[in-house]
Amino acid sequence: MQCEKLFNKIDELYEQYLDVWETVCNMESPTMDKERVDAVGRYYIDIAEKKGWKVEVFESVTGNVVCLTMNPDTKKEPISLSAHIDTVHPVGSFGSPAVKRDNEKIYGPGVCDCKGGLVSALYAMDALQQIGFCDRPVMFLLQSDEEAGSRPINKPTINYICEKAKGSIAFFNLEGADKASACVQRKGIATYIVKIHGVEAHSSLCAKSGASAIAEAAHKILDLENFKDHDGITCTCGVISGGTTHNTVPGYCEFKANFRFVDNKQYDEIAEYMSKLAEKVYIEGCKTEVELFGNRPAMELAERNLKLLETINKIYEENGLQVLPAVKKVGGADSAQVSSAGIPCLDNLGVIGGNAHSPHEYAYLESLKKSAKYLASAIFCM
């Protein structure tokens, strides 16, 4: 077994990295809290500097992206690892301390999505360095606003990551998963703001005058809620506001519509549908405008990604690890844009857990060691 020495080192470091996992997740870092997000980045920078790795920082208004490179001066093509340091949970959602663990699981903000992946990458790189691996650069990219869809000001953070990762023979995105697998396909995301202008009037005159923007919105939300194809287009209208007082016909209402789609063809279908929805009138006197609020491409099924999975599964089989089945996911991630940039990419190679984006988020302790072995052996043998 080619990786026996490497796996022994990973086993030796296990308790140390369980503590790192707990420390990082106790550093709560909601996406829009730049100070807290940057604090997590600095934690990793301090470790990287002690190990002699190259450190680069891309400044961002939300939180800074950090790029840590081991073996930066070697000539082979790099392998890139990536995970995000931001979470969705407001500070204090999990009590104090934020992180708890028992003999089987760890609980807390981002333990699975996605700080477990952050720790497994560092864990794998540390083990590789300690056994003397210096064959190729290993680039670790810490994304800062993934939970916001990398949206502020034309997606500068994920664009930076794609640019840095150019030329990589593999890009492993370390989102958590509910079982050991490799994601090769993800849905894209398109979010629209729908703004409806009605005509205000006294509520007693609603049968004779006025045009209810809320009523118009209700009809259109029901239209949008009909998109319920789990394997195709879906739509959820999750935020709505409108009206002024309970006794006034509402003159304005707006809501957000969040679409998921499989490929660019479906994205075009959504754009055309929303244009037609804007023209459609249910309540006479109402006018509708739609605005694309944010989007993320689909991670379409690509031959280069399937070949990458085939390559690493051969490594796993030769080294006594379970091979990873290819799966598709309905949630979006930065891996979609990386794959769209032509970089061989696989996702969901972080830790195993569940209940992400909830106060009950958890991950299995042993999955940290397994994730590190998957990453380290792929890097060592490619």
User: So what's the pLDDT on residue 187?
Assistant: 94
The dihedral built from the CA positions of residue 64, 65, 69 and 74, taken in this order, carries a sign that is: negative
Torsion of CA 271, 186, 296, 171, to 10 degrees: -150
Residues of the chain with pLDDT under 70: 151-153
User: So what's the pLDDT on residue 243?
Assistant: 96
Residue type, 14: Y
**Coil vs helix vs strand at 363:** strand
| 314, two tokens | 């051969």
User: So what's the pLDDT on residue 153?
Assistant: 57
pTM value is 0.90
Residue range 67-119, pLDDT digits in tens: 999 999 999 999 999 999 999 999 999 999 999 999 999 999 999 999 999 99
Q: Are 350 and 112 in contact (CB under 8 A)?
A: yes
**Coil vs helix vs strand at 301:** coil
Q: Write the DSSP symbol of residue 288.
A: E
Q: Write the DSSP symbol of residue 85.
A: -
In this structure, the chain runs to a length of: 382
From CA 190, how far away is CA 1, in angstroms rounded?
A: 46
From CA 298, how far away is CA 357, in angstroms rounded?
A: 21
Helix/strand/coil (H/E/C) assignment for every residue in 52-65: CCEEEEECCCCCCE
Q: Are 99 and 26 in contact (CB under 8 A)?
A: yes
Q: Are 61 and 34 in contact (CB under 8 A)?
A: yes
From CA 170, how far away is CA 345, in angstroms rounded?
A: 6
Residue range 202-251, pLDDT digits in tens: 999 888 899 999 999 999 999 999 999 998 999 999 999 999 999 999 99
Beta strands at 138-143 and 65-70: parallel, antiparallel or unpaired: antiparallel
b (16+ CB within 10 A) / e for 130-158: eeebeebbbbbbbbbbbbbbbbbeebbbb
Q: Are 297 and 340 in contact (CB under 8 A)?
A: yes
- CA distances (Å), origin 230, targets 87, 123, 233, 261: 25, 36, 7, 9
Instruction: Give the count of beta carbons closer than 10 Å to the beta carbon of residue 203.
Output: 14
CATH of domain 188-296: 3.30.70.360
Per domain, the residue ranges of the chain are 4-186+299-381, 188-296
CATH of domain 4-186+299-381: 3.40.630.10
Q: Are 356 and 196 in contact (CB under 8 A)?
A: no
